[in-house]
Amino acid sequence: MRAMLSCCTAATLVTALACSSDPVSPGSVARAEAGRWATWVLPRGDALRPPAPPAEGSAQSAAEIDEIVRLQSARTAATDSVVRQYAGDPGAPWSRLAVGRLDLYWPLLPDVLVATPVRAARVMSLLHVAMYDAVVASWDAKYAYIRRAPASASGRVKALVPLDGVPSYPSEHAAAAAAAARILTYAFPLEDTASFTRQAREAAESRITAGAAYRSDIDAGWALGAAVAQRVMDRAMADGSAQAWTGAVPTGEGMWQPTPPRRVQVPFDAMAGSWRTWIIPSGSAYRPGPPPAIGSPQFKADLNELLQLASGGRTQAQIDAARYWATDAPSIRWELFAEDEIASHRLSAPHAARARAYLSAAMYDAFVACWDTKFTYWMARPVTMDASLRTVFSTPPFPSYPSGHSTQSSAAAEVMAELFPDRAAFYRAKAEEASLSRIWAGVHYRFDVTTGEALGAKVGDAVVARMRSDGAQ
């Protein structure tokens, strides 16, 4: 069976490339073993395995082939465009859509509290975990049933996209799209949520026109993705993020106070340190010791460093870097780095989903650990300790120690180094730049940054340890 599949796939691939030169086959290959990779909310990849698909040659399969032939005979430039749009990695469109929505909400802070640093990382982790489990579950079923794609099974059907020899039932594109639509609807309830589902259906059904999937592949994949998403949402609704903070800001020398110019009275996500984590045991598991005492030599030195930078010591490059890292929610830059790497390394659907899930989970866990520390010590921001300090942009409205950028970037860099070893040095340098940018901006002391880097490295190590035991190595 495997030999026949490969033979048919090769022929189909040639046809596909002749039909369209845009879609590109993955550079990495994921076969049956991807269905056995460790999952996040499912106990195992086969936990939701759907019933067997209609047999090849059955009446239902024949009817579904007829449908594809009809769709392909009615092809237009518009339908071909949609096919091409969703021909690549099944997770990429939804990851970019989520980034786009978070980009919208980031500059609306603090007026609209959707894309705070921790919440933005949480949204991406929910989305990427859901898509990963959906893809792994679809891979389990694909190799349990090994159904040939329509274009491989019938000479009447053209392959408008590369088929890569992966069985078609259930459709991983449908599974990822359905999971994404549900999670995006949960995460962005103020948006046109119906459009998320419309786009997801369009993406899924484009695979039918493409000759890559039967309708029954799409239906099974869609049901699988929706079921996984429901489990992710059940977990999300109980992760502590809905709990309102009812405490009081502590008072005393060196304690956080609302900062100019907005002087937001309620710090962002004061309870986030207690939110449920993905990999590390809890937000407090790696809690560092307290910051240097106010008035200590280290505190004075680190505050003085900021004052010197502000009094003409900043270079234009430092100012530009500070603004670069402050323009999105901190995790978003790393999400975009990952998208670029996934595309350039041409990862298969399971490998791409895995990369996204680990990176997002690491950054979320890093933020939870960072917020636990921030709201344990309630360290005052530099501008509070010296009102003459001029920052490059406004100081974020939550305590200083440790730096969120440093913590999450350090964790992210370790995950990126594990995923893309050829780029390890580049991403570690990026993490350092992200860290230092907060000093250059005048919004963090150096001790915030060094402690954040150490904390993030611990989170990164924990995530990498899981990566090395998830069955995907």
Partner 1 sequence: MWSRSLAGLLALSACAGGGDPTGTPVVAGATLAVSVSGLVPLDPAVDGRYEAWVVDRAGTATSLGTIDASGDASFTNPAAVVASIFITYEPRGDTDPAPSSHRLLVGRFQNGRATLSVVGALTVNDTPLREKPGQFTMFSPSDNAMHGYPSFEESGIWLFNMAPRDTPQGDMWVRLTQLQPGWVYEGWMVRDIDTPNAVWLSYGKFLPDPTGTVNTRDDTGWGEFSGVTDYLKGEEEFPGDDWISNPLGYVVPGGLTLPLNLREKTASGASRWTHVITVEPSSDRGEPVTTPRPFTVRPYRDPFGDGGPGAPRSITFHAEGVPRGEVVAR
Give residues in contact with partner 1 (CB under 8 A).
101, 103-104, 106-108, 111-112, 114, 190, 261-263, 316, 319, 323-324, 326-328, 393-394
Decide: 340 and 332 in contact? Cβ < 8 Å. no
Report the DSSP beta bridge partners of residue 461.
none
Give the nearer residue to partner 1 in terms of CB position, either 115 or 153. 115
Residue placing its CB nearer to partner 1 in the complex, 245 or 393? 393
Closest contact distance (angstroms) between CB of 321 and partner 1 is 10
Contact 345, 137 (CB under 8 A): no
CB of 261 to partner 1, least distance (A): 4
Complex with partner 1: residue 62 or 112, whichever CB lies closer: 112
Q: How far is the C-alpha of 240 from the C-alpha of 273, rounded, in Å?
A: 10
Closest separation between CB of residue 105 and partner 1, Å?
8
How far is the C-alpha of 395 from the C-alpha of 198, rounded, in Å? 40
Smallest gap from residue 416 Cβ to partner 1 (A): 20
Q: What does the alpha-carbon distance between residue 360 and residue 122 come to, in Å, rounded to a whole number?
A: 8
Provide the minimum distance between the beta carbon of 341 and partner 1 in the complex, in angstroms, as a whole number: 17
Distance CA 208, CA 327 (A): 40
Given a contact cutoff of 8 angstroms between Cβ atoms, the answer to whether 9 and 165 are in contact is yes
Q: Tell me, what amino acid is at 467?
A: M
Cα–Cα dist 122/98, whole Å: 11
Least spacing, CB of residue 315 vs partner 1, in Å: 11
Q: Is 197 or 394 the residue whose CB approaches partner 1 more closely?
A: 394
Integer-rounded Cα Rg, in Å, for the chain is 24
Burial (CB < 10 A; 0-12, 13-18, 19+), residue 42, is buried
Of the pair 32, 264, the CB lying nearest partner 1 is at: 264
Both tokens of residue 441? 């901006």
Check residue 32 and report its DSSP letter. Answer: G
Question: Are the CB atoms for 285 and 369 separated by under 8 Å?
Answer: yes
Q: Cα dist. 48→44, 137, 221, 231, 447 in Å?
A: 9, 7, 11, 11, 48
DSSP notation for 340-391: HHHHHTT--HHHHHHHHHHHHHHHHHHHHHHHHHHHHH-BPPHHHH-TTPPP
Closest separation in Å from C-beta 268 to partner 1: 15
Q: Which is nearer to partner 1, 310 or 467 (CB)?
A: 310
Give the integer Cα–Cα distance in Å for 136 and 57: 27
The span from the CA of 225 to the CA of 131, in Å, is: 7
Q: Which is nearer to partner 1, 108 or 465 (CB)?
A: 108
Least distance in Å: CB of 119 to partner 1? 14
DSSP 8-state assignment for residue 44: S
A 10 A CB-CB count for 426 gives 15
User: What single-letter DSSP state applies at residue 255?
Assistant: B
Orientation of helix 193-209 relative to helix 59-73, angle to 10°: 100
What letter represents residue 323's amino acid? R
Q: Which is nearer to partner 1, 11 or 112 (CB)?
A: 112
Judged by CB, which is closer to partner 1: 114, or 338?
Answer: 114
The least distance separating partner 1 from the CB of residue 114, rounded to whole angstroms, comes to 8
- Residue among 80 and 103 whose Cβ is closer to partner 1: 103
Rounded to 5 degrees, φ, ψ at 255 are: -90, 150
Q: How far is the CB of 436 from partner 1 (least distance, A)?
A: 17
DSSP letter assigned to residue 397: S
Q: Measured from the CB atom, is 254 or 397 closer to partner 1?
A: 397
Least distance to partner 1, CB of residue 65, Å:
41
Task: Decide whether 108 or 242 has the Cβ nearer to partner 1.
Answer: 108
Q: For helices 172-187 and 117-145, what crossing angle results, to 10°?
A: 160
In the complex, minimum distance from the CB of residue 228 to partner 1, in angstroms, rounded to a whole number: 28
Torsion sign across C-alpha atoms 443, 448, 450, 451: negative
